[in-house]
Chain A
Amino acid sequence: MTALALVLGVAVAVAAVLLVAVPFLREPSAADDRLDATSADEDARRRLIEDRDRALAALKELEFDHRTGKLADDDYRELVGPLRRQAARVLRALDDSRAPEAGTAGGMTEPLTPTPVPEPGPPPDEGTPPLPVPVPEPYPPPDEGTLPQE
């Protein structure tokens, strides 16, 4: 082995060892060495958020398919109600899952106020059409738009 190769080889090895050891060199004794794992609550919330995004995206897709003529009025009426109910159900569940924690996490003494459901970002589709086509629903879902009012 030439001297240059030896020096460079040692340099590569030392650099690698240093990089690997960095977490232990920075924190020789960590107070909390646990991985930043998600809690069961967090997982449940994530599932709800995924369901929410999915439900809202499905509604947007439905609107878009209807507007572009892929979906007949009858089919649209049949599908839109259950989808809206599902979206409302998920939003309510999401709101419920966040409300208690908002009160306990910071040791708040003030009366609980519902955590506002943030406006979900637009789902990955074409966005809302400028002029929605009014198609009456023969059987308006009873629980639509009945998010907690308190």
Chain B
Amino acid sequence: MADLGRAALAVSFGLALYALVAGGYAAHQNRRRLALSARNALFACFGSTAVASAVLASALARHDFSFVYVWQHTNRTLSTGYALSAFWGGQEGSLLLWLLVLTGYATLVVALNRRLLRDLIAWVVPVFGGIAVFFSFVLVFVASPFDVQTAPANGLGLTPSLQNPYMVAHPPALYLGYVGLSVPFAFAAGALLSGRTDERWIVATRRWTLAAWAFLGVGQLIGAHWAYVEVGWGGYYAWDPVENAALMPWLAATAFLHSVMIQERKGMLRVWNMVLVALAFELSVFGTFLTRSGVVNSIHSFAKSPIGGWFLAFVVISSVFSVALILWRLPLLKARTKLESALSREATFLYNNLLLVALCLTVLWGVLFPIVTQLVKGESRTIGRPYYDFFLRAFGLPLLLLMGIAPLIAWRKASVRSLLRTLAWPIAAAVICGAALVAAGAGSSKPGLIAYTFCSFVLATILVELVRGTRATGSLLVLVSRNRRRYGGYVVHAAVVLLAIGIAGSSAYSSSHEVKLRPGQTTHLAGYTLTYRGAEPIVGDPNRTGEYALLDVSGRWHGTLRTGDVNYTGFDESDRDVGIRTSWLRGEDLYVIADFTKGSNAVFFKVLVKPLVNLIWLAGIVFVLGAAVALWPDAREQRRLASRFALARA
């Protein structure tokens, strides 16, 4: 069946090329039937890519090792779930997933907007076609998942660290985010190409951008939890280049989601929004390049191959295309109004944008630094955690503060007097919280103390805004349902506050201890007493061997923790299985990693107590809730937009 997969991909390539060339020609020459034909080619491209994907998924499920890809990434002991997750465990499968999601998004968004935005869609189709041409070209000519061989008896297996439930969800979520950012990019480019730079492209892509941004955010949190429970170093984010690759487009998209509101309300920042959309898209492709090229050292670079050059070429070409397009259409992107006051909601959005983009570019420089030093000095130098931590504080804390101020400041113009009056309660809450924390001994970490004080300020502003809004409208439900985007955004702000509390708590106030124990020996940390009972081998699992250390815990919690070294069939290196005891009441984790010593019954343990770390995962749930509120369809808004389009044609 590999031939069918290859043929389907070749058809996809041909269809994408047709959508690009015929679609571009039709839009330029104003040919209706050809434009429809190009649009159908894009739909058909999704169909043929789905066929290719079904062939690969079927081969993975059947352990058909005549497929080189299946042999490289699975073995017979893998469960069907993990075997299927190998679809994105390797490079070729990941690229196929990119193309599948891209053409799926393109089909949906073009089909849904085909009537209202006919003139714009004619230009959007070739842009989607262009992106699909690149990915289908790489899949057909450079990195095919359908290479075949004489089937060996067994496969090499899936990388052990990918054999985790989180890894079943993390890559697809990230891909839905990465690829989703091509929707606003295609519409923005289509608007520029057609010269129709009115608000329609923003209205059409608003929810798609929000969904892509939400997937990217959730994907990163799932990845962080995976790193926490699987990698076994006690942390959840290491500023690894591949982790940063997902963070950068998310930051750019966050900036866009805020600045686009200013364009919608005031007709300002039209060039800036185009730049942000292009930046988010380019960074998403760049992220895939980083993950797949092996150009930087990362624990997440599961595959290394020569496709890096192709990706780099695509990033360069699409960046030049975007910049040229924006420069060409600059006269159409002039702002219709001016910023009326530096003390206004739109001004705070602007400051927020500058901080987010500054943080994004700082992270980008950190990621590029090893590559630049390699090119300039011939040796690769890496930027360490202190660099990122410094800039996270430098930009992150003011961002947190702005997140509190922005909801309570008026649009257009606010006076200092009214602002101070509005902020009186939140400031009082922040001061009380800060003083209480100092009194409770939390002043040992200044960044932690500042973060908590700011967090209480933000939570208080959200509360004040909800209370005043409810008073004004008479009902919280009415308030939220009439502006889901705004109040969904506030829920997301609350999620960011939980995230900040979790990060500050687990980094600034954590305690750790390393100790070598023999059976019967005991160690203590932060109110916990741990006694090493002994080792227990893994039995009855054909895919895993190794042993677990059993620790009896007393003090703040009573029970047994298991932590061990696990060897997966077909792989030499062992994988750590972390022992975690979660206290949801305190949001705290007792976290233990075992390192067995060969030829001895002594075991090295690293014990950590991480206060409030679970608020990070709780933040993920609140984030999803906020995104869902913001994304929820609004019938009133749909009617208003429909009447806007109908009226323009009347």
Contacts and interface: CB of A to CB of B under 8 A. Distances in A.
Contacts of B606: none
Interface stretch (B386-394, B411-419, B514-522, B568-576): B411-419
B11 interface: yes
Residue in A2, A68, A115, A127 with the greatest tally of chain B CB atoms within 10 Å: A68
Contacts of B30: 34-35, 37
Interface in A83-135: 98, 115, 118, 120-127, 129-130
Residue in B34, B472, B474 with the greatest tally of chain A CB atoms within 10 Å: B472
Contacts of A124: 482-483, 485, 634, 637, 640
A53 B469 contact: no
Interface residues of B, number: 78
Interface in A23-61: 23-24, 27, 30, 32-38, 42-43, 45-47, 49-51, 53-54, 57-58, 61
Contacts of B408: 70
A2 B2 CA distance: 10
Contacts of A1: 3
B7 A23 contact: no
Interface stretch (B42-50, B94-102, B221-229, B587-595): B42-50
Interface in B180-210: 196, 198-200
A19 B14 CA distance: 13
B482 to A, nearest CB: 5
Interface string B341-372: 00000000000000000000000000000000
A126 B482 CA distance: 5
B648 A42 contact: yes
Interface in B394-445: 408-415, 417-419, 421-422
Nearest to A49: B644
A72 interface: yes
Residue in A49, A115, A118 with the greatest tally of chain B CB atoms within 10 Å: A49
Contacts of A70: 408-410, 414, 418-419, 422
Given A12-B51, A126-B473, A71 B414 contact: yes
A42 to B, nearest CB: 5
A67 to B, nearest CB: 5
Contact of B482 (A34, A54, A74, A125): A125
Contacts of A79: 412-413
A126 to B, nearest CB: 5
Contacts of B469: 64, 68, 126
A23 B411 contact: no
A141 interface: no
Interface string B630-650: 000010110110011101111
Contacts of A45: 647-648, 650
B196 A43 contact: yes
A129 B122 CA distance: 42
Contact of A5 (B4, B34, B418): B4
Contact of B122 (A21, A27, A35, A68): A35
Interface stretch (B230-238, B261-269, B272-280): B261-269
A86 to B, nearest CB: 10
A117 to B, nearest CB: 9
Contacts of B14: 16
A16 B15 contact: yes
B43 A19 contact: yes
Contacts of B418: 69-72, 75
B41 interface: yes
Contact of B483 (A23, A50, A69, A126): A126
Contacts of A49: 644, 647-648
Contacts of B409: 70
Contact of B640 (A51, A74, A120): A120
Contacts of A42: 648-649
Interface in B263-306: 264-267
Interface string B1-40: 1111001100100110010000000110011111111001
A5 B58 CA distance: 14
B218 to A, nearest CB: 25
Contacts of A147: none
Given A1-B3, A16-B44, A42-B649, A130 B410 contact: no
B57 interface: no
A53 B644 CA distance: 9
A27 B37 CA distance: 12
A62 B412 contact: yes
Contacts of A2: 1, 3
B475 to A, nearest CB: 10
A30 B32 contact: yes
A68 B198 contact: no
A35 B594 CA distance: 67
A9 interface: yes
A75 B418 CA distance: 9
Given A9-B3, A38-B119, A125 B483 contact: yes
B118 interface: yes
B479 interface: yes
A118 B410 CA distance: 29
Nearest to A79: B412
B118 A35 contact: yes
B410 A65 contact: yes
A24 B468 contact: no
B119 A37 contact: yes
Interface in A7-21: 8-9, 12-13, 15-16, 19-21
B639 A121 contact: yes
5 contacts: A16-B48, A20-B18, A50-B198, A68-B468, A75-B415
Closest 3 CB pairs of A and B: A121-B640, A9-B7, A23-B36
